[in-house]
Structure 1
Amino acid sequence: MKHVAIIMGGYSSEYKISLLSGNVVYQSLDRSKYVPYRIHLLKDKWVFVTEDNREFPIDKNDFSVNYLGQKIVFDVVFNAIHGSPGEDGLIQAYLELIHMPHTSCGFYQAALTMNKRDMLSVLKPYGIKTAISYYLNQGDYIDTEAIIQKVGLPCFVKPNKSGSSFGISKAKTTEELLTAIDKAYLEDNEIIIESFLEGTEVSVGVINYRGEIKVLPITEIVSENDFFDYEAKYLGKSQEITPARISDEVAKKIAEIAKKIYIILKMEGFSRSEFILVRDEPFLLEMNTIPGMTNESILPQQARAADITLAELFDNAIVLALEKS
């Protein structure tokens, strides 16, 4: 029996969603193979949370816990933290320093993919199409005329290092652009402003499944709102159609690009990439390396469409993590 620490929570606006994801992993793991533990990593505490919600502090020296007089040492960490420190490389670096196997990608890949503008810059020489973008750091002079000249209106304003659509706005006027910049700065001190791409939004899960890189069935996203924002993503204001209503030829093209990106970035574990299809050409928006793991989340939907249960999906991630340790 392997002792699995399921880390959840985190330090960002996404911590509530992460707790939901982590609890789904906790409920889904095969109890004949694993002893799962819910580990909350929050700004003010790292704790093991029991079934009756008692808390026991984590010893950060070796990521162990003293529980009722017994020291529990984990065999592997299942990473279910969206945002910092689970998706930006911090926890990966810490776990790798203490030689603790974990289910996510390496610290460099996590840091790179969390930083939208750095990731897009790395992929550009490989011919990966992206939106036209303009970058700002907090404190920079905001030249709205130069921004609009480069990316046009409407445009999207996003925090550079954030997930779950927090802080993202669609700006249609100069006034809305300034408001959107202020909103994005509440989430991050770097922002990315991108040209509006008219087309179909799709989400593509790529995983290492039983030792092979596997592209899962593609999901089409139809938002009731102006774009796929937080409400659309988590409060039911969108349709997520798996498999997407696109031709086999276009699906094959997207799958090849998504797999190519996974290989170029030397990814491991889970990934979910977002694209806009403009006249059947995929334009990459971003990549998530710790995608949502609730029953309603996109990647679990895609796994089900590929006849992979949540228990199999999570078991595979743990097996691979242990194999590479």
Structure 2
Amino acid sequence: RIQGLLDTVGIPYTGSGVLASALAMDKVMAKRVLASEGLDVPRGVVVSSASGDDLAQARKVGLPVFVKPVASGSSVGAAIVTSAEQLAPAIAEALNFDERALVEELVGGKELTVAVIGNDDLTPLPVIEIVTKRQFFDYTAKYSSGESEEIVPARIPDEVARRAQDIAVRAHRALGCRGMSRTDLMWSGDRMVALEVNTIPGMTANSLLPKAARAAGIQFGDLLARFVDWALEDARRRAR
């Protein structure tokens, strides 16, 4: 909505436009787009209640599952479910934050995240490995000191890192992102699963994307200047 307002009044802004932002925010639509591009995404169902047919469909996914609101960020309202009695309460909690909840297979493995920057010429940044003391990289793990460790470059083979970067670039292009994105992945053996794409990653000096940029030799001020340049480039293109 903010992007649409800025487009209407002709004010340039950093990051993706209306369509890419809306697609990425709606996790169901994002999964469909990524799957259509041949990327591996978690198996799951969408529900709008924690009872009846919706609950029956959710149970068919099989335990353990990951439950989250369809359109929310920072893992708010998300939970791992390992027993049948936890499922309905987890769905109900997710529905406190959105009209729909996504119930997905819980994909195990090493959690990775890859930022991509640029407009037409895209640059994938070094892969970050996320290690958390909590059950998963939830809101507390993201924003509380000492709850997680973000290792860059990730402790993975070079060929796995290149594969993760390639998937992040493909996801960025598939959704039509501009300027920046960050794709969260889970890697286990032959499987590299695209979990989500964030079109507005955290942008403090210690956030994930700036950390990856710093590992690539791009200082924070230079990174911000590039975002502004790409935003102005996009604005000039739309004005033609």
TM-score bracket relative to the smaller structure = over 0.9
Aligned to 2:142: 233
Q: 1:278 aligns with which of 177, 188, 198?
A: 188
Provide closer, same or farther for how the CA distance between residues 124 and 206 of structure 1 changes in structure 2, counting only shifts above 3 A: same
Identity of aligned residues (%): 38
The one-letter code of the counterpart of 1:135 is V
- Bigger relative contact order (CA 8 A; separation at least 6): 2
The one-letter code of the counterpart of 2:28 is R
Secondary structure at the aligned position of 1:243 is classed as: coil
Structural mapping, 1:8-47, within 5 Å: none
CA contact (8 A) 1:250 1:280 kept: no
The structure richer in helix per residue is 2
When normalised by structure 2's length, the TM-score is 0.93
CA contact (8 A) 1:144 1:174 kept: no
C-alpha deviation, 1:258, in angstroms: 1.0
1:203 aligns with 2:113: yes
More divergent stretch after superposition (304-313 vs 131-140): 131-140
Counterparts of 1:121 and 1:112, CA distance in 2: 10
1:250 aligns with 2:157: no
Counterparts of 1:314 and 1:186, CA distance in 2: 35
Q: Which runs of 5+ in 1 are unaligned?
A: 1-89
The one-letter code of the counterpart of 2:18 is F
Deviations, residues 188-221 of structure 1 (Å, cap 9, x unaligned): 1111011011101100100107x62000000001
C-alpha deviation, 1:283, in angstroms: 0.3
The one-letter code of the counterpart of 1:137 is S
Counterparts of 2:51 and 2:4, CA distance in 1: 31
Provide closer, same or farther for how the CA distance between residues 265 and 288 of structure 1 changes in structure 2, counting only shifts above 3 A: same
CA contact (8 A) 1:206 1:214 kept: yes
Secondary structure at the aligned position of 2:67 is classed as: strand
The one-letter code of the counterpart of 1:216 is L
C-alpha deviation, 1:139, in angstroms: 7.9
CA RMSD in angstroms, aligned pairs only: 1.5
Counterparts of 1:139 and 1:179, CA distance in 2: 7
Matched positions, count = 234
Aligned to 1:147: 58
C-alpha deviation, 1:280, in angstroms: 4.0
Provide closer, same or farther for how the CA distance between residues 145 and 136 of structure 1 changes in structure 2, counting only shifts above 3 A: closer
1:220 aligns with 2:220: no
More divergent stretch after superposition (230-239 vs 111-120): 230-239
1:120 aligns with 2:18: no
Deviations, residues 9-34 of structure 1 (Å, cap 9, x unaligned): xxxxxxxxxxxxxxxxxxxxxxxxxx
Secondary structure at the aligned position of 2:52 is classed as: coil
1:313 aligns with 2:223: yes
Provide closer, same or farther for how the CA distance between residues 280 and 243 of structure 1 changes in structure 2, counting only shifts above 3 A: farther
Structure 1 segments, 4+ long, off by >4 Å, are none
Provide closer, same or farther for how the CA distance between residues 139 and 222 of structure 1 changes in structure 2, counting only shifts above 3 A: closer
CA contact (8 A) 1:222 1:238 kept: yes
When normalised by structure 1's length, the TM-score is 0.69
Aligned to 1:193: 103
Aligned to 1:170: 80
C-alpha deviation, 1:146, in angstroms: 3.3
Aligned to 2:238: none
Q: Which runs of 5+ in 2 are unaligned?
A: 236-240
The one-letter code of the counterpart of 1:231 is T
Deviations, residues 270-312 of structure 1 (Å, cap 9, x unaligned): 1011011021421011011111112221111101101111111
C-alpha deviation, 1:99, in angstroms: 1.1
The structure richer in strand per residue is 1
Deviations, residues 34-90 of structure 1 (Å, cap 9, x unaligned): xxxxxxxxxxxxxxxxxxxxxxxxxxxxxxxxxxxxxxxxxxxxxxxxxxxxxxxx0
Compare CA radii of gyration and give the structure with the larger one. 1
Counterparts of 1:267 and 1:118, CA distance in 2: 14
Aligned to 2:91: 181
The one-letter code of the counterpart of 2:63 is L
The one-letter code of the counterpart of 2:143 is Y
Counterparts of 1:311 and 1:177, CA distance in 2: 45
